[in-house]
Amino acid sequence: MNSIKGAAEHDTQARNYYELGEYDRAIIDATRAVELQPATAAYYRTRGQIFAAMGLLSAARQDFQRGAALGDKEAKKKLWTL
């Protein structure tokens, strides 16, 4: 499996777990997506949303800032919600 496809699959799985409220499982997949494709801004947004839902606001802020720095406008908006 190439890293782009693998990262996308991990991100999708992370979002699925997030929707189910299974944050511990979600964060594992979200982190794997970031590890596989660290230049993909949306993956930082996904992980930031999970961190925020877990109450880990400092970690969420860091991921939203990284996503915003990579050009993700939605991540930039999320910074204002923390």
Domain 3-79 class in CATH: mainly alpha
42 is written with which tokens? 């949306």
Count helices and strands in the chain by DSSP H and E runs: 5, 0
pLDDT, one tens digit per residue, over 28-40 is 999 999 999 999 9
Residue recorded with tokens 């204002």: 80
pLDDT, one tens digit per residue, over 20-71 is 999 999 999 999 999 999 999 999 999 999 999 999 999 999 999 999 999 9
What does pTM read for this prediction?
0.92
**Considering only CA atoms, which of 20, 13, 15, 16 is closest in space to residue 49?**
15
Kindly list the domain boundaries of the chain, sorted by start residue: 3-79
